[in-house]
Structure 1
């Protein structure tokens, strides 16, 4: 593997939608690739099918990062873990680590109360890291570093910043309202994947609009902003125009299976 390849981070948007059923937008999920390491951010309904479209199997995923526990972000976690029980000619050869915020152990144990051993992977290949939502956390892994910050949505809600060994950084906001923590976390990131659930005139508590997402991106001095997590109301609004009120940098509106490589 070349040095340049090691520095790259590729992002594929698996789901740019919400809990609302859609033929064009799957629920929240993003695939991130750093060298040969594959990270999954959120695992909303439909994620495994979208992974296959991205030439990725469940056994390729080394990390799952959950932004919070709402079903449109975590609803396919149970099927994902259950599917690890069926090899189909393949098997997990590397460990699976789930990273999530405060309360995930309790959340997972309640799921086990319902599904039992069917969602318990081989302990040799399974690890859970529960982060502290009261502060910024930082973990160093082989190919990347992850930093997390609590954001304004649920008690367990976290945003994540992934940095490669070459210094490339990508931030995933998860669901949030306007957040000073998110501005700090996203500072100078090469790519900022930010929720923009509804148009400016339909703002609801706990979510951002294009204008607010643009304001965060501007204050954080990010190099490229990608808006995602669109409710159907966004299809009838000029999301780019609304974002341009506060952000003048590189901008993309996420679509399912959109891929961006940062190097």
Structure 2
């Protein structure tokens, strides 16, 4: 099963050469979830060979333009390209008004349905789940209401020991029950203990997306022990005063978050346009948390 994220944009506020503002595409078992949608996102999808038509779910963290200004263009292109299946948008309440106003004044009637789900920036909650993944909001501390998103795999069924099952001629119609962890009693009275014929599946992995936020311990618990943490790192720590003024974090602080919550891996992004190269941000974070990588555009990271 695939569980990976492709970075489409990693800049903050304004695009710079080779860096677009924030957008990511999460692939969970070949279902695609767009996380934020800055200006230029649809061009980034084309550039990296990713099909917008496969996206059925969009998650918008907050209503600063560098996190959603690309949405109207993407939705319009989906319309022009003949999309008919619904698109589900999880975002602050005002996103519906913003989009409908633009469609109204461009005299656009989409050929497909937009289904809106309002996120609550005051309380963490499960906002989506299917057979593959559960999505919870992370309440962040930014200048305007903002939520991150935690994507957690669903626990997989147990793995069958096929060679042993075939060797003992266990009827194939019993396999689904064994995969669900059931002990079985055969018609002749023999008992099949599940642990003798299956092994446990891998522990579910989680991806925590923390977009714009001040360093704030209030969101640490929900991202505890995540496999991969994406955390904004807008500034180097010598710009801490500016980070606090704008409700952002530094690369050093992002690494401290990863260390405290026990993340397995840290991706840092949302880099200020003042930084033409990113090595210093990576080096700063690695002084605290060595398992840090830069969220580089076009790169895909396994969770």
Give the TM-score of the pair, scaled to structure 2: 0.76
Residue 173 of structure 1 contacts residue 182 of structure 1 at CA under 8 Å; is this kept in 2? no
Alignment partner of 1:218 out of 241, 253, 259: 259
The 2-side partners of 1:120 and 1:181 are apart by 42
8 Å contact kept, 1:47–1:76: yes
Residue 245 of structure 1: how far off its partner (Å): 3.6
Match of 1:133 among 118, 121, 129: 121
TM superposition shift of 1:157 = 0.2
For 1:111 and 1:121, the matched residues in 2 are separated by: 11
Q: CA deviation at 1:93?
A: 5.2
- Tell me: higher relative CO, structure 1 or 2? Use CA pairs within 8 A at least 6 residues apart: 1
Stretches of structure 1 lacking an aligned partner (at least 5 in a row): none
Q: Give 1:1-263 correspondences, 5 Å limit.
A: 5=1, 8-87=2-81, 91-92=82-83, 94-101=85-92, 104=93, 106-116=94-104, 121-122=110-111, 125-138=113-126, 139-166=128-155, 167-203=204-240, 204-205=243-244, 206-235=247-276, 238-248=280-290, 250-262=291-303
Aligned length: 248
For the structure 1 residues 15 and 184, does the alpha-carbon distance in structure 2 shift closer, same or farther, using more than 3 Å as the test?
Answer: same
Q: Is the 8 A contact 1:188 1:223 kept in 2?
A: yes
Q: CA RMSD in A?
A: 1.9
- Structure 2 gaps, min length 5: 156-203
1:128-151: CA deviation from partner (whole Å, max 9, x where unpaired): 111222211113223210011210
Do the aligned partners of residues 20 and 134 (structure 1) sit closer, same or farther apart at CA in structure 2, a change above 3 Å counting?
A: closer
Please give the alpha-carbon distance, in whole angstroms, between the structure 2 residues aligned to 1:258 and 1:177.
26
Q: Is the 8 A contact 1:197 1:234 kept in 2?
A: no
What TM-score do you get using the length of structure 1 for normalisation? 0.87
